[in-house]
């Protein structure tokens, strides 16, 4: 008789039967907040926006918060406010959402890719130092999955070369570095409130900083060039209209009431998974840094030893998903391999200031390219389930690893 399949992908019984939490989470706080705005007739950029800016800034231990329409436009705003523009170079990681680099392009600057660290998936300070030129004006570390980049080393590099350190904190609501919230440890930081994020109003973003002048400059850009003390129709720069609505602020204020508890739950549950996978052949651990005093997980990332497993990452993800644990392959190529950057290299006249300075087809970040092939993600919603669900995740991963011989290496 043929052997019965063990793995669910081959017809076996799935290991994990959890009904996972859905996202977004909401209750009467959101309903009442939205109704209050509706009935007030004051829908536009008012007291609730101001209240949320102050409360979220305080939550991240920053002095100032300036909301925007998205994390992308928040990053563009920060770059403009810092005076970064045509021909300037900004060092970014290639393992991130496109906005980290496209925002640089949008202000006329040039993204320079520095590799990531294999044990953090965040930008490698040593490679950052190698990529600095006379044209470099800023570094944008990404706190990938809520793991905080090495802000000590990056801060030292930025200070030594008089560069702006802009934190892309769009995965790190609640994360802390040595007790201080991410977002205002560098010159400034940006957060996203897009639909998948740990606190959401469907779209939206914010810039945090401890620098009052920088906050005022960001506010001016998001508010069509107005400045404090100026007349309503007096515009001081070519700003944009990036203002949040009162409806979005009402949603975010409600979401913020749960963020502390959710952050701690995700962190506790992630620790259970990490402990359960420690020492498992086929899994490359991503251990926490003691300087990260709180981590606001947006993702739980798992690196695979593909040589030990003998299969592709995609095959592993298919098998794990079949076991009842929804998983994603995440970023499958470095940013510089996107058509956007390949096209720029073929036709640099599309960016006249690029000239022959960068040919993205020649860029190589070997760690990132390996990570794009061997890393999978579990989304933050899974980390809001109970402890038994975390044990089930560990059991499902162990089951796939221990029975990997059943999988064809496609």
Catalytically active residues, by annotation: 197
CA–CA separation, 182 and 61 (whole Å): 8
CA–CA separation, 370 and 368 (whole Å): 5
Nearest in space to 108 (alpha carbons), one of 384, 354, 399: 354
Contact present, 379 and 328 (Cβ < 8 Å): yes
According to DSSP H, which parts of 110-192 are helical? 125-131, 151-160
The DSSP line for 170-221 is: TT-TT-EETTEETTSSSSEEEEE--TTSSS-SSS-EEEEES-HHHHHHHHHH
Contact present, 48 and 253 (Cβ < 8 Å): yes
Residue 364: CB atoms within 10 Å:
11
Cα 28 to chain centroid distance, Å, stands at: 28
Q: Which H or E run contains 353?
A: none
Contact present, 388 and 296 (Cβ < 8 Å): no
CA–CA separation, 377 and 270 (whole Å): 12
- CB neighbour list of residue 68: distance below 8 Å, 6 or more residues apart: 74, 77, 204, 205, 206, 207, 222, 242, 243, 244
């Amino acid at each position: 008789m043929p052997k019965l399949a063990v793995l669910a992908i081959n017809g076996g019984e799935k290991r994990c039967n959890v009904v996972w939490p859905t996202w977004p989470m909401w209750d009467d706080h959101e309903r009442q907040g939205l109704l209050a705005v509706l009935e007030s007739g004051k829908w536009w950029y008012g007291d609730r926006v101001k209240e949320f800016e102050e409360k979220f800034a305080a939550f991240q231990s920053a002095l100032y918060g300036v909301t925007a329409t998205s994390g992308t436009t928040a990053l563009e705003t920060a770059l403009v406010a810092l005076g970064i523009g045509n021909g300037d170079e900004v060092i970014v990681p290639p393992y991130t959402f496109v906005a980290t680099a496209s925002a640089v392009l949008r202000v006329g600057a040039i993204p320079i890719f520095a590799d990531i660290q294999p044990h953090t998936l965040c930008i490698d300070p040593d490679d950052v130092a190698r990529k600095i030129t006379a044209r470099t004006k800023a570094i944008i570390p990404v706190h990938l999955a809520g793991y905080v980049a090495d802000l000590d080393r990056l801060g030292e590099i930025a200070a030594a070369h008089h560069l702006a350190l802009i934190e892309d904190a769009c995965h790190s609501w609640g994360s802390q570095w040595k007790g201080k919230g991410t977002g205002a440890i560098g010159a400034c930081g940006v957060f996203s409130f897009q639909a998948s994020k740990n606190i959401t109003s469907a779209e939206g973003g914010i810039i945090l900083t401890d620098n009052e002048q920088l906050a005022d400059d960001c506010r001016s850009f998001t508010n069509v060039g107005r400045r404090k003390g100026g007349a309503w129709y007096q515009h001081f720069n070519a700003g944009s209209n990036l203002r949040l609505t009162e409806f979005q602020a009402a949603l975010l204020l409600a979401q913020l009431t749960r963020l502390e508890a959710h952050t701690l739950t995700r962190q506790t549950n992630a620790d259970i998974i990490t402990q359960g996978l420690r020492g498992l052949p086929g899994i490359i651990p991503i251990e926490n840094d003691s300087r990260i005093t709180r981590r606001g997980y947006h993702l739980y990332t798992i690196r695979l030893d593909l040589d030990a497993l003998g299969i592709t990452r995609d095959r592993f993800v298919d098998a794990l998903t079949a076991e009842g644990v929804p998983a994603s392959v995440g970023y499958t190529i470095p940013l510089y391999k996107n058509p956007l950057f390949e096209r720029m290299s073929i036709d640099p006249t599309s960016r006249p200031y690029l000239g022959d300075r960068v040919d993205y087809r020649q860029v190589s970040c070997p760690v990132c390219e390996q990570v794009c092939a061997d890393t999978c993600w579990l989304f933050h919603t899974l980390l809001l389930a109970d402890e038994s669900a975390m044990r089930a995740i560990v059991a499902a991963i162990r089951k796939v690893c221990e029975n990997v011989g059943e999988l064809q290496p496609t």
